[in-house]
Amino acid sequence: MWSLIVAIVIGFIAGLIARAIHPGDDKAGFIVTTLLGIVGSLLATYGGRLLGLYPEGSSAGFIASVIGAIVVLFIYNLVVKKT
């Protein structure tokens, strides 16, 4: 349970950093950006566990969370631009 809370907090910060790093004109607001960061952090955490990079009960590191947030933000921008 604690690793989930840590992943959410790191994802909040990672979402803001991913927004600053990701190029382009994003129409997403603060709430959407932080939610995408949290999703990216959780994606990095559970994806890393699935690949065997992280042991059970630990969360992804900060850099992996930022990379996950950038990936989710990129996919979000692709989906939003097509609709």
Tally of CB atoms within 10 A around 24: 9
Q: Exposed, middle or buried: residue 40 (CB in 10 Å: 0-12, 13-18, 19+)? A: buried
pLDDT at 41 (0 to 100) = 84
Express each pLDDT in 39-83 by its tens digit: 888 888 888 888 888 787 777 778 888 888 888 888 888 888 776
Question: How far is residue 30 CA from its own chain's centroid?
Answer: 14
Average pLDDT over residues 23-36: 76
Instruction: Please give the DSSP secondary-structure letter assigned to residue 52.
Output: T
Express each pLDDT in 4-26 by its tens digit: 787 788 888 888 888 888 766 66
CA 46 to each of CA 17, 22, 59, 78: distance values in angstroms, whole numbers, following the listed order: 20, 23, 8, 23
Would you list the domain boundaries of the chain? 2-21+30-82
